[in-house]
A and B are shown apart, each in its own frame.
Chain A
């Protein structure tokens, strides 16, 4: 039972990060019908920027409190991610907006590779340790040990997601986003500037990716040039699981995927009698993706979008 609760917590931590990343995918897909392949790499850049900022601050002001350092790192990460994402949108996606389906996707794959290699050049190929800035005393909750970082990740994700829901459902920008997703041309006739809305969507997604990147690096205390790729892919799976283009769906999908992965990795050894070990963890996400797409292509919360896929 204790392993079970422990895995639930791990799953929630993982799931909140997936959810944050999945939101970026799902919002962009909802508006442009584009899988933003470079999203995971934006996350990488965010985490690495935060790392560099933190190391710099620690060197310059050794007395600075941990939360302030990580706050500055987060701010830097989000700024860089948003800028990068806006540049990508402008350079690689906007000219292809009316091009056939595969063109922007292939372009996105190219962007993803370019970012990866540039990150490799700037930060090197090695795994780097992400400093522990929040006191890591284990907190005992109902027999399960949780670190402050993990609790913070869950709480912050929940807060950001509530904020995002309010933004999308209650503000003028949110209404413009929903209108553009519905039909960009008609939205344009109603006085919405689609270029601005799309750029804003990318910016919001990138900010979430930056946040998730810092969380990811802080939780696992490691950062490297390739760190965003796999979580990016899994977050996309989460978005599909929840119903792509659907914002609550992305949150639900992310959390579910995190839970499934954590529980699966924890129990697969027992279930298969030791034949398959926890290193098959990564297979779960892809297997789920295939199963969902075969049996319910519109996802758990999505409405039927037969011709979108």
Chain B
């Protein structure tokens, strides 16, 4: 919490009061926003997933200064892992798996989360190992290629053995069941009816908070300082005795775990996955969140992710009616407009506010003080 609220850290009571207030707001939020329809709560749940993604990417790009344009691949890996482990796809394709699990494949969330994190971390290492020596823009292109390779494989692994079901994707993915509660159905607690999206929102919120805490702890740890040292000056970091290879690999692996967990949650939430969800644009959207919020600054990244995740929902509710009123027809699709505005945001942020909307404090005492693109890109 210290790094989150540096000025308040002297006054413990104030900190706890703030935490309690924020907690109440976050818990009450779906009931307030839900008045406008469940679509908004859904957007909130997605915002949580995007915060996790952005935090993971922030480890790689913001802390370690390694520009990764294929980050969505880890999200895809997590999503497909859950999809395969909790849908009838594998049992219906492979008789021997059906024999092993006569009741069908059902996976507990307590298995899925560590597994998603672990598999994504392995993919992170796979990506990290060959690109250790590359810096800056070369790295960006290679990671982009990696993301595309993963997507192409997902798209084509339906022959000769049908693993991913190709472009159609995997359907009939089971909702999450935890502690005897099926998150796919509305639940009654104390006479209060909680629709499925609310339940998912709370689960994702909990995971997001855990992710934020992990990130804050990582940032202040020896490893976090090593990442920042590498970002500032790799040669100097090496001279200070930092094992650059291992530290970079850890950045890729740990960054990937967030993507993996988030992806698994995405699959459970959506109920179906297809390669369409993991195109390059998604990687760029996550990058836009990190850059917009403030590279390397956790509160900024969270802000950026929430803003950009809620934004399409706002657009959807404004663009179409406004255009209908003005021109009598829809000229610009909300989705196209969204991408266009994201693109412009990337350019404008770089031109006028290269450290993001909520940059790290310039003269702080914490090691994150000199964070930002200004430092991230110095090579």
Contact with A along B329-366 (1 / 0, CB 8 A): 00010001101101111111111001000000000000
- A121 touching B336 in the complex, CB below 8 Å, given contacts A35-B141, A101-B136, A293-B131: yes
State which residues 87-119 of A face B: CB under 8 Å: 91-92, 95-96, 99-107, 109-114, 116-118
Q: Give the CA-CA distance A54 to B250 in the complex, in Å.
A: 54
A286 at the interface (CB under 8 A from B): yes
Task: Name which residue of chain B comes closest to A286, CB basis.
Answer: B145
A120 at the interface (CB under 8 A from B): yes
Do the beta carbons of B159 and A101 come within 8 Å of each other?
no
Chain B residues whose CB sits within 8 angstroms of the CB of A286 once the complex forms: 145-146, 148-149
Secondary structure at the A interface, as helix, strand, loop or mixed, is: helix
Chain A residues whose CB sits within 8 angstroms of the CB of B144 once the complex forms: 233
Task: Name which residue of chain A comes closest to B291, CB basis.
Answer: A106
Q: How far is the CB of A283 from chain B (nearest CB, A)?
A: 6
Q: How many residues of chain A are within 8 Å of chain B by beta carbon?
A: 48
Do the beta carbons of B350 and A103 come within 8 Å of each other?
yes
Contacts across chains A and B counted by CB atoms under 8 Å: 149
Q: How far is the CB of A235 from chain B (nearest CB, A)?
A: 11
Do the beta carbons of A290 and B336 come within 8 Å of each other?
no
Secondary structure at the B interface, as helix, strand, loop or mixed, is: helix
- A307 touching B379 in the complex, CB below 8 Å, given contacts A113-B340, A116-B339: yes
Do the beta carbons of B336 and A280 come within 8 Å of each other?
no
Task: Name which residue of chain B comes closest to A120, CB basis.
Answer: B336
B246 at the interface (CB under 8 A from A): no
Other-chain contact of A277, B148, B156, B350 (Cβ < 8 Å): B156
Other-chain contact of B373, A92, A100, A111, A274 (Cβ < 8 Å): A100
Q: Give the CA-CA distance A215 to B159 in the complex, in Å.
A: 33
Do the beta carbons of B156 and A110 come within 8 Å of each other?
no
- Which 4 A-B residue pairs are closest in the complex by CB-CB distance? A110-B346, A113-B343, A100-B377, A286-B145
Beyond A96-B350, A114-B343, A289-B145, 19 extra complex contacts between A and B, CB < 8 Å: A99-B350, A100-B373, A100-B377, A100-B379, A101-B137, A102-B136, A105-B137, A106-B287, A109-B284, A110-B348, A113-B342, A113-B346, A274-B160, A290-B131, A290-B145, A293-B142, A294-B130, A307-B379, A309-B137
Binding site for B on A (CB under 8 A): 33-35, 91-92, 95-96, 99-107, 109-114, 116-118, 120-121, 233, 236-237, 240, 274-275, 277, 279-280, 282-283, 285-287, 289-290, 293-294, 297, 307, 309
A selection of 25 A-B contacts at a CB cut-off of 8 Å is: A35-B137, A100-B354, A100-B378, A102-B136, A102-B373, A103-B373, A105-B137, A106-B291, A107-B347, A110-B343, A110-B345, A112-B343, A113-B346, A114-B347, A116-B343, A121-B336, A240-B138, A275-B160, A286-B146, A289-B141, A293-B130, A293-B131, A294-B130, A297-B138, A307-B379
